[in-house]
Chains A and B, each alone.
Chain A
Amino acid sequence: MGVLQEYKCPCCDGAIEFDSNLQKMKCPYCDTEFEVETLAAYDDALRSDVDDEMDWESTPAEVLSDGLRAYVCNSCGGEVIGDEQTAATACPYCGNPVVMMEQFAGSLKPDLVIPFKLDKKAAIAALKKHYEGKRLLPRVFKDENHLEEIQGVYVPVWLFDTGAEADVRYKATQVRAWSDSRYNYTQTSYFALSRSGSLQFTRIPVDGSSKMDDTMMESLEPYDPADAVDFQTAYLAGYLADKYDVDADKCIPRANERVKRSTEEAFAATTSGYTSVIPEHSSVRLKHGKTRYALYPVWLLNTKWNGNTYTFAMNGQTGKLAGDLPMDKGIYKKWLFGLTAVVGAVAFGLSYLLWLL
């Protein structure tokens, strides 16, 4: 292996890409389209092509220092440099999309992929919309903020299927209040509740890439796993992709935390008719089922303003965008003191009116 994979158009030999709008492969040169169903067969055919070429084309990945690797572009012969995790990128010289096949060999092959549904234009539009309705955003930010880089990235995630078994004890109260002509009565009844049962979770994603910020990745959730399809390298053409560098065992604790929390809340929801319900003891036992390796689509946008870089990410499937924006302290103070004055004046006016009545 150690070679780059390019998808050549059978008609014109141009490098073809996955088109998120058509959900098909499309040749940017002759506009020929290929059905997604043919991708698997096409993939296999290409793989065997590569195997044939192995005999005479000996260009293994050259391992450079600092974990960098060099590949040779099949189209122009230019040097494509990636790091240890890079799995799909574009040639810096001819711009053709390339896929590093060795990153998907054997156990590294992802089980599932959610193909991009939204394109670059949708990401830019979503970012514009992201600025709207933010009163504390510096006014000049929108105009002076330059989009430096926009990339469609397949982020490696681990998907966990988990069964949770739980035993929870609660202390609950019912409060009833009434009164007669002389006394007010309050009756508090105390109960001990216990619940045992199980709950199933499917495909809880945990970020498997150390390059992608875990919190950022969780901000983009939820992804709809119903759209996930069996992995084909052809889906990666035209996008960037990394292979995982955080293994599944290290990701399990994060999934467990979330499962525990959700299980406890689901069980608490089965107690109704009480004034207060306080958990006294809770034991949640998790049984891990299937663990799958998948690639989830993310649009990454980097902008620069006032010398700082702001990173935004958009869910490539649903269009949900996340990214922290700067705050204008002057505007904040104006709002804080302005609102204090206005609300204070209204409250004072009301108190005076009440006194007058």
Chain B
Amino acid sequence: MKKLISIFLVLCLLTALCLAAHAASPLLTDDAQLLTSGEASALEQKLTEISTRQGVDVVIVTVDSTDGEEPMDFADDWFDYNDYRADGILLLVSMETSDWWVSTTGYGITAITDAGLEYISDQFVPYLSDGDFAAAFDTFAELCDEFITQARGGDPYDNHNLPKEPFKWALNVVVALVIGFVVALIATGKMKRKLKTVRQEVKADSYVTPGSLQLTASRDLFLYTQLTKTERPQSSSGSTTHRSSSGTTHGGGGGKF
């Protein structure tokens, strides 16, 4: 029995070594020291698991500063000049300028469309803004996993089939209560008005002699016309790409948090 367990452990270790050997560069680089060591190892495990299973490297990089480089170039170069697979998704967080950037390469471009990236960023950027980096990276990794799985099925998430955003409980409760209060105010206002029947009569409509309205002059003069045109919002699908300094094609996008 003990033998079996030790063989199993050795096998596990070997597999882990093999996997590590394949992705030579680390999937998590926390240069900005945003995570505790516990969080970091848990996240690294998760990234390794997803990357191995999907065959797409999901990389997270945090830095204090990009040293004057554009976040896009910095992220693209990081992916290009390290030893990653040809398919990958990289999230860069730069603390000094509060920048985040997602750079996609190879199959990552297919899996993460422009619309898909907007959806993903809506989920994890609020955590970045709150300073909850572990949750932000966790959410990011899980969503990448989900998006790659969807893309493998042949129909990547895009404008027409984005997954549902989680239900916003607090916001919905507040909005529902405000609507309820306004409706209640209108309804009780109506009940209140029923109690007050003594009102001034502001018009004398009942005393108009029927048919006595006579128009001696009636003129409708056209003055001028104004035409405004606004562009209709175009819904684009797919991913926009660009070429990095090393000549590799990358997709992705980013912003501030």
- The listed residue (B194, B199, B214, B216) touching A215 by CB distance below 8 A is B199
Residue of B nearest to A311 (CB): B198
Chain B residues, CB < 8 A from A345? 176, 180
Chain B residues, CB < 8 A from A182? 231-232
- Chain B binding surface, main DSSP class: mixed
Given A134-B194, A188-B226: A179 in contact with B232 (beta carbons within 8 A): yes
Q: Is the CB of B215 within 8 A of A335?
A: no
- The listed residue (A181, A262, A347) touching B232 by CB distance below 8 A is A181
- From 128 to 143 in chain A, residues with beta carbon under 8 angstroms from any chain B beta carbon are 130, 133-137
Chain B residues, CB < 8 A from A213? 198
Q: Is the CB of A184 within 8 A of B199?
A: no
Give the shortest distance, in Å, between A132 (CB) and chain B (any CB): 10
Give the shortest distance, in Å, between A238 (CB) and chain B (any CB): 27
**Stretch with Cβ within 8 A of B (4 or more), from A55-63, A68-76, A90-98, A199-207:** A199-207
Q: Is the CB of B177 within 8 A of A340?
A: yes
What does the 1/0 interface line of A326-343 toward B look like (CB < 8 Å)?
A: 110000100111111111
B18 is an interface residue with CB less than 8 A from chain A: no
Q: Is the CB of A348 within 8 A of B172?
A: yes
CA A181 – CA B233 in complex, angstroms?
10
Q: Is the CB of B183 within 8 A of A343?
A: yes
B3 is an interface residue with CB less than 8 A from chain A: no
B201 is an interface residue with CB less than 8 A from chain A: yes
Q: Is the CB of B180 within 8 A of A340?
A: yes
- The listed residue (B177, B181, B220, B231) touching A183 by CB distance below 8 A is B231
Q: Is the CB of A201 within 8 A of B176?
A: no
What does the 1/0 interface line of A169-187 toward B look like (CB < 8 Å)?
A: 0001000000101111111
Residue of A nearest to B165 (CB): A355
Chain B residues, CB < 8 A from A266? 208, 213
Given A187-B225, A194-B219, A355-B167: A343 in contact with B184 (beta carbons within 8 A): yes
CA A338 – CA B181 in complex, angstroms?
10
B192 is an interface residue with CB less than 8 A from chain A: yes
Q: Is the CB of A343 within 8 A of B180?
A: yes
Chain B residues, CB < 8 A from A265? 203, 205
Q: Is the CB of B222 within 8 A of A191?
A: yes
Q: Is the CB of B187 within 8 A of A133?
A: no
- From 187 to 226 in chain A, residues with beta carbon under 8 angstroms from any chain B beta carbon are 187-204, 213, 215-216, 218-219, 221-222
Chain B residues, CB < 8 A from A335? 184, 187-188, 191
B206 is an interface residue with CB less than 8 A from chain A: yes
Chain B residues, CB < 8 A from A184? 229-232
- The listed residue (B173, B191, B204, B214) touching A204 by CB distance below 8 A is B204
Give the shortest distance, in Å, between B248 (CB) and chain A (any CB): 35
Q: Is the CB of B195 within 8 A of A133?
A: no
Q: Is the CB of B213 within 8 A of A324?
A: no
CA A188 – CA B224 in complex, angstroms?
9
CA A258 – CA B205 in complex, angstroms?
9
Q: Is the CB of B209 within 8 A of A336?
A: no
Given A190-B223, A196-B217: A321 in contact with B197 (beta carbons within 8 A): yes
Give the shortest distance, in Å, between A213 (CB) and chain B (any CB): 8
- The listed residue (A261, A321, A338, A341) touching B204 by CB distance below 8 A is A261
Q: Is the CB of B232 within 8 A of A195?
A: no
B202 is an interface residue with CB less than 8 A from chain A: yes
B227 is an interface residue with CB less than 8 A from chain A: yes
Q: Is the CB of A201 within 8 A of B231?
A: no
Chain B residues, CB < 8 A from A321? 197
Residue of B nearest to A213 (CB): B198
- The listed residue (A197, A219, A325, A340) touching B217 by CB distance below 8 A is A197
Q: Is the CB of A194 within 8 A of B180?
A: no
Residue of A nearest to B190 (CB): A135
Residue of B nearest to A271 (CB): B220
Q: Is the CB of B198 within 8 A of A216?
A: yes
Chain B residues, CB < 8 A from A351? 172, 175-176
Chain B residues, CB < 8 A from A215? 198-200
B161 is an interface residue with CB less than 8 A from chain A: no
Chain A residues, CB < 8 A from B221? 191-194
A78 is an interface residue with CB less than 8 A from chain B: no
B207 is an interface residue with CB less than 8 A from chain A: yes
CA A45 – CA B201 in complex, angstroms?
42
Chain A residues, CB < 8 A from B212? 198-200
Given A136-B188, A258-B202: A339 in contact with B183 (beta carbons within 8 A): yes
A344 is an interface residue with CB less than 8 A from chain B: yes
Q: Is the CB of A324 within 8 A of B195?
A: yes
A2 is an interface residue with CB less than 8 A from chain B: no
Q: Is the CB of B216 within 8 A of A198?
A: yes
Chain A residues, CB < 8 A from B216? 196-198
Residue of A nearest to B222 (CB): A191
- The listed residue (A190, A202, A344) touching B225 by CB distance below 8 A is A190
Chain A residues, CB < 8 A from B219? 193-194
Q: A133-B194, A258-B202 are in contact. List 4 more A-B contacts (CB 8 A).
A: A198-B213, A323-B198, A344-B180, A352-B167
Between A and B, 24 residue pairs with Cβ closer than 8 Å are: A134-B195, A135-B194, A136-B194, A136-B195, A137-B195, A185-B228, A185-B229, A187-B226, A188-B228, A190-B225, A201-B208, A219-B199, A221-B201, A261-B204, A322-B198, A332-B188, A336-B184, A341-B180, A343-B180, A344-B179, A347-B179, A347-B180, A351-B176, A352-B172
**A-B complex: 3 closest residue pairs judged by Cβ atoms:** A344-B180, A339-B184, A200-B212
